[in-house]
């Protein structure tokens, strides 16, 4: 049963309306009942009164790019552990990629995952369908059936679609059926460490999007040239959005050399010039969304040689402090929150998420910009995090999902 909660004297941010002021929020029956100071409604005796002085009160965060390893690799992460990691990080909604084992490329597997998500998670979990059968880039899945069975987007994430004809076909289908297409930019003719891999594939995608007026979304942009390509495309009114991961705007290939396998991801960490370009892209609006690309792996998998270790790092639980610590001198708090809430909601067509509005479901996060702590423990099953042992500032201290407090002061309450 949902609680009646009064969040008092917090800095309330609603990115949709540019509302940003110190005020109160009343939550009742799982919804936002009132925003204002003083509250017009009488606060009942059974109301949970929480003072949020000097804290940010924001919409629940939305991550459009996570890997919860279900089905097939639940020893790394599962829907329950992944959702707990999300709650700890202030995320109330996540979108899972399809590169599981087996690949989510048919309605039966999709249905099984969504049923497990509904019964065994603590947040709203949404599922992407792969674009091609087995992620092989050769034959399209039955996209219509996948949409009808609950897939909210299409992506072969982890592999770029190399065949231009197939890529154009899926782009055209997604536009006609109003389903977002999330594209991993990797030209398989090059190593992922060769920047041409990302740049060439991004260039191809943008050319097709422009020529045929088709919308696309580019995942985990990491190169200066890619940021420039997207910026120029947007100036030409190409229908493109893109995302960046916290590791790509906070770390460089120098950090990779120091940290090792727990800083190995695809695309890889780039140069300081690239890092600064990603920050500039976030600042000027070229890059719309911040998404973690949360990718758990076990210690055993990451403990082999750098060459053999799998790509991927976890990021849900550290996204907020890493983002605020890195971007606080470049973007306002409201701008950062918008890239974690409203922009993802718009991409996915979530009309009732990413906003603080009376009558909407009460998904919120409270962030303490002054809270500092070391990165040590995780709710995730895996610990492949490049910030282990680092002292970070600006942490979520409360997560509210559907009107219930599910994380408070670092403790899970579900």
Q: Which of 293, 363, 368, 409 is catalytic?
A: 293
| pLDDT recorded at residue 1 | 62
CATH number of 5-57+358-371+391-412: 2.30.40.10
Does the pTM of the predicted model rise above 0.95? yes
| pLDDT recorded at residue 298 | 98
- CA atoms of 322 and 327, how far apart (whole Å): 8
Q: Between vectors from CA 16 to CA 14 and to CA 20, what angle results, nearest 5°?
A: 35
Cβ(141)–Cβ(133) under 8 Å? yes
Give domain limits for the chain. 5-57+358-371+391-412, 60-348
Write out the CATH class of domain 60-348.
Answer: alpha beta
| pLDDT recorded at residue 46 | 87
Return the SS3 of 34.
strand
Residues forming beta bridges with residue 93, ordered by sequence position: 62, 124
Cβ(83)–Cβ(407) under 8 Å? no
| pLDDT recorded at residue 2 | 73
Domains 5-57+358-371+391-412 and 60-348 share a fold: no
| DSSP string for 357-390 | -TTSB--EEEEEEEEEEE----SSS----TTTT-
**pLDDT tens, per residue, the chain with 414 residues:** 678 999 999 999 999 999 999 999 999 999 999 999 988 876 777 899 999 999 999 999 999 999 999 999 999 999 999 999 999 999 999 999 999 999 999 999 999 999 999 998 899 999 999 999 999 999 999 999 999 999 999 999 999 999 999 999 999 999 999 999 999 999 999 999 999 999 999 999 999 999 999 999 999 999 999 999 999 999 999 999 999 999 999 999 999 999 999 999 999 999 999 999 999 999 999 999 999 999 999 999 999 999 999 999 999 999 999 999 999 999 999 999 999 999 999 999 999 999 999 999 999 999 999 999 999 999 999 999 999 999 999 999 999 999 999 999 999 999
| pLDDT recorded at residue 44 | 77
| pLDDT recorded at residue 43 | 77
| pLDDT recorded at residue 40 | 84
Contacts with 155 (C-beta within 8 Å, 6 or more apart), sequence order: 97, 98, 128, 129, 130, 131, 181, 182, 183, 184, 219
The sign one gets for the Cα dihedral 159, 161, 163, 164 is: negative
In the annotation, is 157 catalytic?
no
| pLDDT recorded at residue 45 | 76
């Amino acid at each position: 049963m949902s609680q009646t909660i009064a969040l008092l004297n917090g800095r309330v941010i609603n990115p949709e309306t540019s509302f940003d002021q110190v005020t109160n929020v009343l939550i009742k029956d799982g919804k936002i009942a009132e925003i204002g100071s003083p509250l017009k409604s009488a606060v009942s005796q059974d109301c949970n009164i929480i003072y949020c002085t000097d804290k940010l009160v924001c919409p629940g965060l939305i991550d459009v790019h996570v890997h919860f390893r279900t089905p097939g690799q639940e020893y790394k992460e599962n829907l329950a552990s992944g959702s707990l990691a999300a709650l700890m990080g202030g995320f109330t909604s996540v979108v899972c990629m399809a590169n599981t084992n087996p690949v989510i490329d048919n309605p039966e597997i999709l249905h099984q995952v969504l049923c497990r998500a509904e019964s065994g998670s603590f947040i709203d979990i949404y599922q992407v369908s792969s674009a091609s059968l087995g992620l092989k880039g050769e034959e399209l899945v039955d996209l219509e059936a996948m949409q009808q069975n609950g897939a909210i987007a299409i992506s072969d994430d982890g592999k770029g679609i190399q065949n231009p004809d197939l890529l154009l076909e899926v782009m055209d289908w997604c536009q006609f059926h109003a389903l977002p297409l999330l594209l991993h930019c990797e030209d398989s003719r090059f190593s992922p460490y060769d920047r041409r891999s990302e740049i060439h594939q991004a260039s191809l995608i943008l050319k097709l999007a422009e020529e045929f007026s088709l919308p696309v979304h580019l995942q985990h942009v990491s190169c200066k040239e890619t940021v420039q390509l997207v910026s120029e495309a947007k100036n030409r009114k190409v229908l493109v959005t893109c995302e960046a991961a916290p590791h790509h705007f906070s770390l460089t290939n120098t950090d990779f050399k120091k940290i090792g396998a727990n800083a190995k991801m695809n695309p890889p960490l780039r140069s300081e010039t690239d890092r600064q370009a990603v920050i500039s892209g976030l600042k000027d609006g070229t890059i719309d969304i911040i998404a973690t690309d949360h990718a758990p792996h076990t210690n055993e998998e990451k403990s082999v040689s750098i060459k053999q270790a799998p790509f991927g790092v976890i990021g849900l639980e550290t996204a907020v402090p890493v983002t605020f610590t890195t971007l606080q001198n470049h973007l306002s708090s409201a701008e950062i929150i918008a890239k974690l809430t409203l922009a993802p909601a718009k991409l996915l067509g979530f009309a009732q998420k990413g906003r603080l509005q009376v009558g909407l479901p009460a998904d919120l996060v409270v962030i303490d910009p002054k809270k500092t702590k070391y990165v040590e423990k995780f709710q995730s099953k895996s610990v492949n995090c490049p910030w282990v042992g680092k002292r970070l500032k600006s942490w979520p201290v409360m997560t509210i999902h559907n009107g219930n407090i599910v994380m408070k002061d670092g403790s899970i309450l579900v």
